[in-house]
Structure 1
Amino acid sequence: MWKKEFDTSYVGFMKDGAKWLAENTDIKLVGLDYLNVAAWDEGVPTHHVFLERREVILLEGLKLDGVPAGIYSVHCLPLRLIGADGSPTRCILIK
């Protein structure tokens, strides 16, 4: 994520994967350590799948390198932006 050039080969959700996750699990938060949770070719359709459900929170651009494997509680503190469909968020991990 911290390279000078944008990398379109990053790993992200395709529309069908997002749909399966939303319909078949009780997952409420999806986070990725790149700029988008959706695969490069499927950005808008994938976001629509997640956002139509209004139950799945998307976190993009997480900086997780250096975090040891383990069980954590995550607390997300978004900015309150009136009329916005997204917001910068500070996420805190508590072990």
Structure 2
Amino acid sequence: QTSHKQDTTLKENVTILSIITKKINQLPEAERKLLEHGSIYVELNAVLPGLIVNSLFLCILNMTQVHIAAGLPMAEIPFLIVHVFYRSFVNLSLN
């Protein structure tokens, strides 16, 4: 009975994936490009708040010499995390 449930779930997933693929192929070229390269926009939106928070935090602490050294991790970490999640959840599911 478990095998039957897995087969049903697999068939439903394949059906949903084929519907999504068909819908994506019907999109205009510009929107398809946005879907393919959307991670860059999302990553930059993740980096910007990190840099703003870092700048405000450094101003509160009156630190003037470490803006680049402290800002690098605040920009890199969100960028990499969003890149990995976008690629794994959006791009791989669409392919």
With the shorter chain as reference, the TM-score category is under 0.3
Q: Which has the larger radius of gyration?
A: 2
Q: TM-score, normalised by structure 2?
A: 0.21
What TM-score comes out, normalization by structure 1 length?
Answer: 0.21
Higher helix share: 2
The structure whose RCO (Cα within 8 Å, separation 6+) is larger is 2
